[in-house]
C-alpha cells in the first residue's frame, strides 16, 4: 500500500510506545514503576464528574456547534480575560478534543510549504510533527540546561529569517519544567511584532507552577491578535481521557480552526463540554491540592535523582517533569532509558524523544505517588550501581 507523503512526514509521541512496552512487561508478570506518561494520577474532581453524568442524563448527547457550546466558550472567555488580563470574546474561543489539536490546527492554518516555524527543542514532539505535516520547515530553538531551559536570546535571533511565520513557546515547559520570564517573552514578542510572525503559546501547564509566576505572551502589548493560546482541562483538572481543550486566537483564525474542526471531529463530545463549564466555574480547591502534591513529589524526586552518581538536575519550576542530565553515566539517553526499563523495571523517556537537544537527558514524569517515586528511585540507584 502507498502511504501519503504527508503521513510519512508525521512524527509521533514515544510516551505511548514506552507505555505499551511497560504494560506488556507487566502482563508477563514483571513489576514496572511508571514515569513515562505525562498524565495526572489523580482522578477528575467529583463535581466535574457529576456535571458530566448530569449532562448525559439531560441529553447533552447530540452534536453541538463545531466551535463549541456557547456557554463553555463564554466561560473560557471570562477565565482567559481574568487570568491573562486581555479582553477575550466567545467568538475567539474554539473547543477542541484536547489541547493537542490546537497544534495541528495552528500549523495547518498558518503554514505553507517553504515557510519556517521555530519550536522549542527539547519540546513536546507534536510541535515538530505538526510543522512537518503542514509541509513547512521545523527550526529548533535549543533550550539550554545552563539557562534553566530558557532559550539563548542571541541564538534565537539568528533563527529568524524572512520565511519565519510561526514561533511556538511552551511555559511551563514539557519536558524540562522550565518557565520563561517576562523578559524572555518580551524579547520574543518584539521579534514577532517586528517581523509579522504569529506565536503559538502552549499554556497547558499554566496552573502547575511551584516557583515564580505564570505569564502569557498574549498579555503583552500588541500580542493578543498575533497569539494563539493553547490551553485545556487535561492537566489542570486531571481530565486527560475526557479530551477537552481549546484555542484562543483572533476571530479570523478561529473561523479557520472551526473549518478544520468541521472537516475532522465535527464537535467535541457534548456532555464533556458541559463538564468543562463546571470545572472552570466550580470550586478550585482540587486544583490547588493537586499542585501541592506535585510540589512534594517534585522535591522528593529531584533530591533523590541528585543523589544518584552520574545524574544532575536543577529544581524545575513548573509542570510535573524531572529532566536530569545523565551524561555522567556514560550512556546515551536511549541506552539509559532502555536499561532502566529492562533491568530495573523503571519506565522513563529518553530526552531524544523531545528532539535532538534532548540527548544527554531522560524524562521522569512525577505525576505518581510518593511511594512509587521512592520505589523508582531505589531501583534506579540499584541498577546504576551495577553498571
Ligand X SMILES: Cc1ncc(COP(=O)(O)O)c(C=O)c1O
Residue nearest to ligand X (CB): 98
Choices 64-72, 93-101, 183-191, 216-224; region in contact with ligand X by CB under 6 A = 93-101
Among 133, 202, 320, 347, binds ligand X (CB under 6 A): 202
Among 75, 108, 216, 234, binds ligand X (CB under 6 A): 234
In the complex, the smallest distance separating the C-beta of residue 209 from ligand X, rounded to whole angstroms, is: 14
Does 247 interact with ligand X (rule: CB under 6 A)? no
In the complex, the smallest distance separating the C-beta of residue 205 from ligand X, rounded to whole angstroms, is: 7
Does 376 interact with ligand X (rule: CB under 6 A)? no
In the complex, the smallest distance separating the C-beta of residue 38 from ligand X, rounded to whole angstroms, is: 4
Does 245 interact with ligand X (rule: CB under 6 A)? yes
Does 64 interact with ligand X (rule: CB under 6 A)? no
Q: Which of residues 27-46 bind ligand X (CB under 6 A)?
A: 38
In the complex, the smallest distance separating the C-beta of residue 106 from ligand X, rounded to whole angstroms, is: 12
Does 368 interact with ligand X (rule: CB under 6 A)? no
Q: Which is nearer to ligand X, 291 or 381 (CB)?
A: 291
Does 207 interact with ligand X (rule: CB under 6 A)? no
In the complex, the smallest distance separating the C-beta of residue 1 from ligand X, rounded to whole angstroms, is: 29
Q: Which is nearer to ligand X, 226 or 235 (CB)?
A: 235
Find all residues with CB under 8 Å of 342, minimum gap 6, and list them. Answer: none
Pick from 121, 208, 129, 137: nearest CA to 169:
121
Does 124 interact with ligand X (rule: CB under 6 A)? yes
Does 232 interact with ligand X (rule: CB under 6 A)? yes
The residue with cell 507523503 is 5
Neighbour count for residue 371 (Cβ, 10 Å): 9
Give the per-residue SS3 of the chain.
CCCCHHHHHCCCCHHHHHHHHHHHHHHCCCCCEECCCCCCCCCCCHHHHHHHHHHHHCCCCCCCCCCCCHHHHHHHHHHHHHHHCCCCCHHHEEEECCCHHHHHHHHHHHCCCCCEEEEEECCCHHHHHHHHHCCCEEEEEEEEHHHCCEECHHHHHHHCCCCEEEEEEECCCCCCCCCCCHHHHHHHHHHHHHCCCEEEEECCCCCCECCCCCCCHHHCCCCHHHEEEEEECCCCCCCHHHCCEEEECCHHHHHHHHHHHHHCCCCCCHHHHHHHHHHHHCCCHHHHHHHHHHHHHHHHHHHHHHCCCCCECCCCCECCEECCECHHHCCCHHHHHHHHHHHHCEECEEHHHHCHHHCCEEEEECCCCHHHHHHHHHHHHHHHHCC
Does 358 interact with ligand X (rule: CB under 6 A)? no
Does 240 interact with ligand X (rule: CB under 6 A)? yes
In the complex, the smallest distance separating the C-beta of residue 241 from ligand X, rounded to whole angstroms, is: 9
Does 326 interact with ligand X (rule: CB under 6 A)? no
Does 176 interact with ligand X (rule: CB under 6 A)? no
Choices 95-103, 185-193, 275-283, 326-334; region in contact with ligand X by CB under 6 A = 95-103
In the complex, the smallest distance separating the C-beta of residue 221 from ligand X, rounded to whole angstroms, is: 26
Does 92 interact with ligand X (rule: CB under 6 A)? no
The contact set with ligand X (CB under 6 A) reads: 38, 98-100, 124, 170, 174, 202, 204, 232, 234, 240, 245
Amino acid at each position: 500500500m502507498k502511504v501519503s507523503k504527508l503521513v510519512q512526514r508525521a512524527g509521533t509521541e514515544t510516551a505511548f510506545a514506552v507505555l505499551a512496552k511497560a504494560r506488556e512487561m507487566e502482563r508477563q508478570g514483571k513489576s514496572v514503576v511508571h514515569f513515562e506518561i505525562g498524565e495526572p494520577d489523580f482522578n477528575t474532581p467529583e463535581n466535574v464528574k457529576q456535571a458530566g453524568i448530569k449532562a448525559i442524563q439531560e441529553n447533552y448527547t447530540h452534536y453541538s456547534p463545531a466551535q463549541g457550546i456557547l456557554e463553555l466558550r463564554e466561560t473560557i472567555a471570562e477565565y482567559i480575560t481574568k487570568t491573562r488580563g486581555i479582553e477575550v470574546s466567545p467568538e475567539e474561543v474554539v473547543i477542541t478534543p484536547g489541547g493537542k489539536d490546537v497544534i495541528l490546527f495552528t500549523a495547518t492554518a498558518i503554514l505553507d510549504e517553504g515557510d519556517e516555524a521555530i519550536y522549542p527543542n527539547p519540546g513536546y514532539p507534536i510541535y515538530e510533527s505538526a510543522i512537518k505535516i503542514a509541509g513547512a520547515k521545523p527550526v529548533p530553538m535549543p533550550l539550554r540546561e545552563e539557562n534553566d531551559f530558557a532559550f539563548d536570546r542571541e541564538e534565537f535571533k539568528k533563527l529568524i529569517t524572512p520565511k519565519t511565520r510561526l514561533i511556538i513557546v511552551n511555559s511551563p515547559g514539557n519536558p524540562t519544567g522550565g518557565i520563561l520570564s517576562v523578559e524572555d517573552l518580551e524579547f520574543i514578542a518584539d521579534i514577532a511584532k517586528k517581523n509579522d510572525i504569529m506565536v503559538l503559546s502552549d499554556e497547558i501547564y499554566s496552573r502547575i507552577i511551584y516557583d515564580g509566576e505564570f505569564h502569557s505572551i498574549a498579555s503583552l502589548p500588541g500580542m493578543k491578535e498575533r497569539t494563539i493560546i493553547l490551553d485545556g482541562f487535561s492537566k489542570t483538572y486531571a481530565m486527560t481521557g475526557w479530551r477537552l481543550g481549546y484555542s484562543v486566537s483572533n476571530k479570523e483564525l478561529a473561523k479557520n480552526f472551526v473549518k478544520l474542526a468541521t472537516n475532522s471531529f465535527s464537535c467535541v463530545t457534548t456532555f464533556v463540554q458541559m463538564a468543562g463549564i463546571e470545572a472552570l466555574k466550580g470550586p478550585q480547591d482540587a486544583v490547588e491540592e493537586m499542585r501541592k502534591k506535585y510540589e512534594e513529589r517534585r522535591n522528593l524526586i529531584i533530591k533523590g535523582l541528585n543523589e544518584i552518581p552520574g545524574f544532575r538536575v536543577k529544581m524545575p519550576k513548573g509542570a510535573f517533569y524531572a529532566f536530569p542530565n545523565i551524561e555522567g553515566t556514560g550512556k546515551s539517553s536511549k541506552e539509559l532509558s532502555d536499561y532502566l526499563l529492562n533491568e530495573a523495571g523503571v519506565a522513563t523517556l529518553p530526552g531524544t524523544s523531545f528532539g535532538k537537544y534532548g540527548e544527554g537527558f531522560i524524562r521522569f514524569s512525577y505525576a505518581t505517588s510518593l511511594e512509587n517515586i521512592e520505589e523508582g528511585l531505589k531501583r534506579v540507584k540499584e541498577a546504576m550501581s551495577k553498571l
